[in-house]
Amino acid sequence: MADSDGGSGRSPDADRGPLFAVSPLDGRYARYTEPLVEYASEAALVRARVRVEVEYLLALADLDAVPLRIDPADRAALRDLYEEFDAEDAALVKAIETEGHGGIPATNHDVKAVEYFLRESLPARLDADAVGPWIHFALTSEDANNLAHRLLLKPAVEQVLVPELRDLRDALAGMAREHGDLAMLARTHGQPATPTTFGKEMAVYAARLGRTIGRIEAAAGDLAGKLAGASGTYAAHHAACPDVDWRAFSAAFVGSLGLEHAALATQINPCDDLAALFDALRGANGILLDLDRDAWLYVSEGYLGQTSDEGETGSSTMPHKVNPIDFENSEGNLSKANADLGFLGEYVTSSRLQRDLSDSTVKRNVGAALAHCLIGYGKLGDGLSTVVPNEQVMRKDLEATPEVIGEAVQTVLRREGHADAYEHVKELTRGRRTSLGDFRELFGELDVDRETRAELRGLTPAGYTGLASDLVGELE
């Protein structure tokens, strides 16, 4: 069986538009996923294969041991085959694979179809009989495929996903700086806890996301390509041209494509580099899922108000509702992305012996995982742009929960040498509603000096935010 997972042609509904797409990524959400078409579509993969094959042919022509010379004009014409690759070219390659074309029977093999496409498309001035044998010379399909996939994945991440993540990081940093002093009741275990500021909480997310963006960029920069033949031994290369240093050639060629070189491989690139990148993306998505859920809760509690479009419907039956749908949509898409990325990272790093083909169809779903990421990032950005902190609600919540200053009270008393400070405050506050008056009554009974008593009486929930506003300055 050839290295093709067979797409047999066009669906009867192929020209009916997004409403007839099998996947919502190409249907309902097509307008959001469009930036990935250049990197994640079947046509993009075919174009990338053409690029690899053309550049490999040109690299062979630079070897003294290879009786092939291609002048600058013909080199430019060959590069035009992928630089100007269009829908008609992609359809032709697909026809060669599935139906046959111009006397070429159907290959049922996607990479072989690219080879025949190139032979059919050589510039007229080139001697096809002389050049043809060197197209795909000594390569296995995976040599072309692993490089093509990485030539698409790297810019998809660096040019589409990372800018979206940076926009989110910048939005969070902006919110952090704007609201660094806005006191807010914190909740640990879902219960009232030491107050914080809204800005500081957004700064935490901005800092986490910034670090993870660096991890994603590093993983994308470490993508490594393999070009070593059918079992990773350069056997066919060495048999045909034993005087060529094929290891050096391979390293130089892969490097010229902007990828690291995987020197040791079987027929396939082991894909540990892909798994590392998928894991880095999952890390970013995990942070943003955390934010989606927190934002949803803040909206539910009234800490965040939402702006709404006048004509928009929040509920088909309850006219008053303004739902946090952007955060919910983001949560759903990022959850789906992480499930896919986890599966991909686990699956592509294993292969039976030197090669099995199950990974081929799996890798075709990388674009779908990236698309769910992209939708999730965009929806979260939309959500953040429509929420406004509600200072009145936050302050009211703080005033209604004076027991949160108990931590400060018992800590100050410890400083003053009161070994039973914790127990005093616990007796006053645990499991009961407490007022500031109750605390002041306690302060009057304590054996402390005038300055300490004044210090304790000055404590308020809204003022008990520590260095929260200063911590926002930790953002770079």
CB 380 within 8 A of CB 168: yes
* Residue among 11, 308, 315, 435 flagged as catalytic: 315
CB 137 within 8 A of CB 230: no
In which residue are the tokens 């041209």 written?
A: 241
For residues 366 and 427, give the distance between their C-alpha atoms in angstroms, rounded to a whole number: 57
What the block records as the tokens of 388 is: 């406004």
For residues 308 and 312, give the distance between their C-alpha atoms in angstroms, rounded to a whole number: 7
Would you call 189 a catalytic residue per the annotation? Answer: yes
Q: Which residues are designated catalytic? A: 189, 315
